[in-house]
Structures are given as structure tokens and as C-alpha cells.
Amino acid sequence: MNWDESVGRFGRSLSNAIRYPFESWYGTVGFVLVTFGTYILLILSTMPEFALQMLADGLHWFDYVLVSLTESVYLTNGATGLGIIVTYALLTGVAVVNAVAQLRLVGLSGATSVSGVLPGLVASGCASCGAGLLAFLGFAGGLTLLPFDGTLVQAGGLALLLFFLGRAGHPEQCVVSLEESQ
């Protein structure tokens, strides 16, 4: 198999993986819930101390915190920074719905097939918030060592998430062809 065929197969597999959550109402609802939950977590993790202090005073501050941190991300990182967070949230929603579908179809005994998307979820969780996660872990000083304020780490995490989604493909379709199995 040549390079063009491999890239074409990967593109179709990635497209199938991204379309899967929208094939049923359950998948779409799951996608929306996970996407919003991920977006909220990523935005809150951009300034964890601010978020924790405000929310400790009461949940009535939640909308203010969410809007002000979204604005802060936009003002400090521009549309690219906010776009990375939104893209992470969207792809994480797809990855979680696909992973749940794979677990539902093959069960825990076939967990090796789920391994196609789990590394992408890990990449999503660690690299997506970039600076926020480092601050949560107490490595805020490490931010000074990252080029472009961790944007390259975030872009690398997005690439990993896309790679593992493309590798896993549609949860209800086998991605191994007869030619590859011989």
C-alpha cells in the first residue's frame, strides 16, 4: 500500500470517527454534554486560583467566572488560543462518545480496541489546558520554559488526539481490511 492510499484511508477513518456521535440522539446528547463539560474544565483551569476563590464564595459566580475567563483567554492568546480550547472540547466530546461506544460493543474483555482512542484522551487532558494544568500541579514556573506559552504543547496534543481518533475510526466498523490481515 502506498502513501496516498494510507493517507486516504486515515482521512476516511478520521471522518467516520468524527461523524459517529451524530448518528444517534444518545451520541449527540453525550457529545454535547462532554464537550460543554470539557470546555468548562479547560476554561476554569486557565486561572485555577481565581476560579476556586470565586466559586468557593458561591456558585452564583459561575457564569461570571466562565465569561471572564473566556474573555481573558481571548485577550491574552487571541482567537488561536480560544480556538485551541474549543477544538479540544469538541474532539474530546467525539473521543469520549466513541470510547463509550467501543466499550459498549466489545465490553471490558475487548479493551484493546479502545486503546485506539484512550491515548488521545490522555493527550486531551494533559496538553489541552497547557498552562492551567501546570499551575494545578504546582509547576507554574515551568511555563517560562515553554515556547509560545505552551501553545506548541497544545498543538501537539491536538495532533495526537486527531491521530488516535483516525486510528480508531468508527466504533461500529472494523478498520482492518482483508489486504492488511494477509
**Pick from 75, 85, 94: nearest CA to 42:** 85
- CA separation (Å) from 105 to 44, 110, 157? 34, 9, 27
**What is d(CA 88, CA 125) in angstroms, rounded to the nearest whole number?**
9
pLDDT band at 78 (very low <50, low <70, confident <90, very high): confident
pLDDT of residue 126: 47
Report, as an integer, the average pLDDT of 131-140. 55
Q: How is residue 130 annotated by DSSP?
A: T
b/e per residue, 22-43, with b = 16+ CB within 10 A? eeeeebeebbeebbeebbbebb
Report, as an integer, the average pLDDT of 151-165. 80
**What is d(CA 111, CA 164) in angstroms, rounded to the nearest whole number?**
15
